[in-house]
Amino acid sequence: MKINSVIISAALITIVFTVVATPKVIAHHSFNSEFEADLEGQVEGVVRRVVWANPHIHYFVEMALPDGSSEMWSLDPPGNLASYRRENWTRETIQEGDIVSATGNLGRNGTKKLYALCITLESGRQIGRCVTPSSETEVTADPTIDYTIKTNDYDVDISGFWTSRYKFRVTVDDFEPSPMPHTPESSAIYASRQYGDDPALRCTPVGLPRLFGSPYAMQVVDAGTHYLMIYLQENAPRWVYMNDREPLVDQPLSTMGFSIGHWEDRTLVIETSYLLPAWLDGSGYAMSGGDDTRIVERWTIAEDGLSIDRTMTIHDALYTQPLVRTRGSQRGDDQELLESPACDSTSFYSEMLERGDLETLIQNSMQE
């Protein structure tokens, strides 16, 4: 279907009044504060900017008006990146310059934003709640499959609670070899770092490899096909697959990556790939991520089972040699297994405001 070339004017947006908001609308966690449940409309125009981020994405669409002027509208579809993935809706599905048409609920107080329940692309493809409902209404599990978890009879049992202050050192300039085996590119990136660049200050999850050096505790669960590791820093989960599982064809990059493991006597060997670009440590050494980064960990469990010597080797195209970080863990009392307090970036943004750098930070974030 080709989208009608006549762009709908903001003044002529179809308004539909309903008595009761449908369940699929009110599922959005901030819907009532941003949108009108009883006011529906349609927006059509050219995509000028895409913000692809979790938990919600935004498409900024320029809509032409009959008098020759234009207005910028924000299309805010419900859901998150995980739900879009099930619909084969990716960053590339809608790009700058595309023409789209969307229907949904209008923003409160006349704001130029639309809770885009259904988006129609130039190709005629539709995405959103008009294609995939917000929730399942029937049982879709296969009755012939055993979904229960069965633990493994490994020679070494690492399940349980571990503290990580054993052999701890601050995760800054803690790599071997030293000095860092820079390439010209990594050296230039490191030299350009300024205050405020560290994503951890903005409460962005640090993921691997920084989390490996954290003094926070972790809990390990044998989940049958994999180990589930819960790191108390950032309350971050990690899956280490022990069943030769392969990554998906379109495996996304993430802060924790995709990890597979196997046992070599008393040593658990974990190889991780599909990592997002990140910082290697708190001093600002860069990590490429993607195809240019591979991490191998070796967790050697003591004979008495009370401690682990952990070694991480980072293979990254930004450096002329592999980088090695060492840490340790030991058994502890699970009474320390407390949820980590939520990260609060207030102090960071307050300091950026006092420095006069907040506007620059916002502009740089918009460009990303």
Residue 279 pLDDT: 95
| Banded pLDDT at 368 (limits 50, 70, 90) | low
Give which of 333, 312, 308, 306 is closest to 324, Cα–Cα.
312
What residue spans define the domains of the chain? 10-128, 160-338
Sign of CA dihedral 83, 85, 86, 89: positive
Q: How confident is the model at residue 292 (pLDDT cuts 50, 70, 90)?
A: very high
Please tell me the CATH superfamily of domain 10-128, with its number: Nucleic acid-binding proteins (2.40.50.140)
pLDDT digits (tens, 9 = 90+) for 203-232: 888 999 999 998 889 999 999 999 999 998
Taking only Cα atoms into account, the Rg of the chain, rounded to an integer number of angstroms, comes to: 25
Specify whether the CB–CB gap between 332 and 161 falls below 8 A.
yes
CB-based contact 312:209 (threshold 8 Å) = yes
The more confidently predicted of residues 305 and 83 is 305
Of 131-140, 286-295, 346-355, the range with the highest mean pLDDT is 286-295
Quick one: average pLDDT of 81-102? 91
Rounded Cα–Cα distance for residues 279 and 303 (Å): 34
> Tens digit of pLDDT for each residue in 61-76?
999 988 999 999 999 9
Least confident range from 24-33, 158-167, 318-327, 347-356: namely: 24-33
Q: How many CB atoms lie within 10 A of CB 279?
A: 20
Structure tokens at 11: 């003044």
Residue type, 362: I
Q: What is the pLDDT of residue 136?
A: 61
Rounded Cα gap, residues 362 and 294, in angstroms: 32
What are the tens digits of pLDDT across the range 276-285?
A: 999 999 889 9
CA distances from 173 to 46, 67, 203, 213, 295 (A): 47, 60, 21, 12, 18
How are the residues of the chain apportioned to helix, strand and coil, as percentages rounded to the nearest 5? Answer: 20, 35, 50
Question: Average pLDDT of 120-132?
Answer: 92
Tell me which of 365 and 53 has the higher pLDDT.
Answer: 53
Lowest mean pLDDT among 145-159, 289-303, 354-368: 354-368
More confident residue, 367 or 79: 79
Residue with tokens 């005629």: 124
What is the value of pTM for the model shown?
Answer: 0.77
CA atoms within 13 A on the CB side of 345: 13
Supply the pLDDT for residue 134: 62
pLDDT 10s digits, 15-61:
333 333 333 444 445 678 889 989 999 999 999 999 988 778 999 99
Residue 364 or 171, more confident: 171
Q: What is the pLDDT of residues 265-276, one digit of tens each?
A: 999 999 999 999
When pLDDT is averaged across residues 4-8 and rounded to a whole number, the result is 34
Burial-class residue 102 by CB neighbours within 10 Å (0-12, 13-18, 19+).
Answer: buried
